[in-house]
Structure 1
Amino acid sequence: MTTVPVPGVTSLIGGGLLAQRERLGLIASNMANADSVATPGSQPFRAMEPVFAAIPAAGRSGVSSVAVAGVVQSAAPPQMKYDPASPFANPKGYVTESNVNPVEQMTDLIDASQSYQSDISILDQNTKLSQTMIQSFVA
């Protein structure tokens, strides 16, 4: 698990940014392999999905951060396409393709991008608030 060791809002947002960055990397890998096919007898590429986990706050209730606890393969079945002329076709004429659904991946990409941007906005607002508090003590 990757965590950010800074307390408070920064820790929570930092963990969220790292988790979304890893999610974006998995989406990129899935999209790169969306059109892959398997040779007869081999396994096709399976979409990879992140598993998020809340990291409990030490010594108090609540959550201090979020992390990617692991990566799992999608349970969706591979796609089968009838193409008897393909060198990758099985004896029945079907080609086994990856189970990556490009529409789902693009939806996940939009969601992850918006989550990442929201985390950046919250971090920016937290920084501005901290600067305002420091300036009020100095003045």
Structure 2
Amino acid sequence: MIDPLVASSKLSSSGLEAQSSRLRVISENIANAQSTGRTPGSDPYTRKTITFKSELDRTLGAASVTVKDIGQDDSAFPLEYDPGNPAADENGMVKKPNVNTLIEMADMREANRSYQANLQMMKQARAMITATIDLMRG
């Protein structure tokens, strides 16, 4: 049987990795929220999405989380009239990225909170291990 403190550390570690990947995807979306195409009528940056999957870790006897896929959002690109833009088509319309900065910021806040919760769980497990070792010495 695996030690519950080790198990909690491994589970929180998988959560930290997953949320770190999520934060990287969100950051890339925000960084490219204004990235249009380079040629007339070309597509701009396409918003990335991330999905997770739950995997049973048989050694722990618990489910951990991993990144399943980093995909692309297939929603339509908003159009903006900007005839001076190099990416403007013959009508002066420019395709803008399908990134909604407000949604990305809300996702970032949620991912950050999940990351912090996993980090706190790891800190608590470490404190419990230290306390157990101190009790054994005493």
**TM-score interval, normalised by the smaller of the two chains:** 0.7 to 0.9
Q: Which residue of 1 aligns with 2:29?
A: 30
Q: Which residue of 2 aligns with 1:130?
A: 129
Deviation at 1:59, TM superposition (A): 6.1
TM-score by length of 1: 0.85
TM-score by length of 2: 0.86
Deviation at 1:93, TM superposition (A): 2.0
Q: 1:85 to 1:60 in 2, by over 3 A?
A: closer
Q: 2:29 & 2:50 partners in 1: Cα distance?
A: 12
Q: Which residue of 1 aligns with 2:19?
A: 20
Q: 2:60 & 2:84 partners in 1: Cα distance?
A: 63
Q: Which residue of 1 aligns with 2:42?
A: 42
Specify which structure has the bigger relative contact order, considering alpha-carbon pairs within 8 angstroms and separated by 6 or more residues: 2
| Residue deviations 1:110-132 (CA, integer Å, cap 9, x gap) | 11111111111111111111222
Structure 1 vs Structure 2: percent identity of aligned residues? 31
How many aligned positions are there? Answer: 132
- Superposed CA RMSD: 1.7
Runs of 5+ unmatched residues, structure 2? 1-5
Q: State the AA in 1 paired with 2:48.
A: M
Deviation at 1:61, TM superposition (A): 5.1
